[in-house]
Amino acid sequence: MKAFKILFLLLITGIGVISCSEETKNARLDIRLTDDPGDYEEVNIDIQGVQIHANSTDTGGGWKSLEINPGIYNLLEFTNGLDTLLGSIELPAGRVSQVRLLLGSNNTVKIDGQSVSLTTPSAQQSGLKLNVHTELVEGITYTILLDFDAARSIVKAGHSGKYILKPVIRAITEATSGAIKGQIINPAAIPAVYAIIADDTLGTTFANAEGKFLIKGLQPGIYTVSFAPAAGFVIEDKTGVSVTLGNVTNLGEIPVSNE
């Protein structure tokens, strides 16, 4: 038992394990930007904000702003499978319907070595809305990839020589992790819970007052779930626990015995 407790202390101080609580009931959402290339030297987009609309009936509903680094993003740096993280947010489990991209006025395109301003229609200045309609499951990490089509998004306006920015963006949502949950029958055991794959502990948490636990942010694989209960209690390890993308593996009720 002491060995387990020492291991736990080493893990949380040495490798920064992922910890979470069943009580939060949140999912994590990352917003990333990528590009379909266009025939330009640069396509510089002024991104000032990103918001997500959650349809939760509790306080998690409505538009939520992500913390991002606002500024100029050259889309052509994010082609051929490359992307960049705009921001992340934790939201209550439930449905999200839209992403809103807030654009500034400093948008340009570089052609033959010359930087040309991109006119932005007034309708887009209040935010470009993209439909996603995704159900978030607690404990799962998701990515919404904003695939910006540079070639189709820049339009030359007749004989004026002006270029207009009419963003064509595809929002692609995918789950990027799985999770494990369960409930300790006797909460008095107050165990630490570990998700171990091969020789690595990839997730750690504590059971709450009801004995429930949730370990999130896990990559797909076969895990051993190990427990370090309070003195006087014994909880057997669970082996062969399968984790898949977008799913929460439920271990159900976990029995507790006395030493």
DSSP helix/strand/coil, 151: helix
Q: Which domain holds residue 124?
A: 26-175
The domain tally of the chain equals: 2
- 18 in a structural domain: no
Instruction: Please indicate, yes or no, whether residues 49 and 136 belong to a single structural domain of this protein.
Output: yes
First-to-last C-alpha distance (Å) of the chain: 11
CATH number at residue 202: 2.60.40.1120
Are 140 and 197 in the same domain? Answer: no
From 227, 160, 140, select the one nearest 190 (Cα to Cα): 227
> Are residue 185 and residue 253 in the same domain, yes or no?
yes
Give the CATH number for residue 48: 2.60.40
Q: Is 251 in a helix, a strand, or coil?
A: strand
In a domain, 3, yes or no: no
- Is residue 21 predicted with pLDDT exceeding 60? no
> Is the domain of 121 the same as that of 188?
no
- Which of these three, 175, 197, 228, is where a domain ends? 175
Span 72-85, pLDDT tens digits: 999 999 988 899 99
pLDDT 10s digits, 34-53: 998 778 899 999 999 999 99
Q: At 12, which helix (H) or strand (E)?
A: helix 2-14
* Res. 150 pLDDT band, cuts 50 70 90: confident
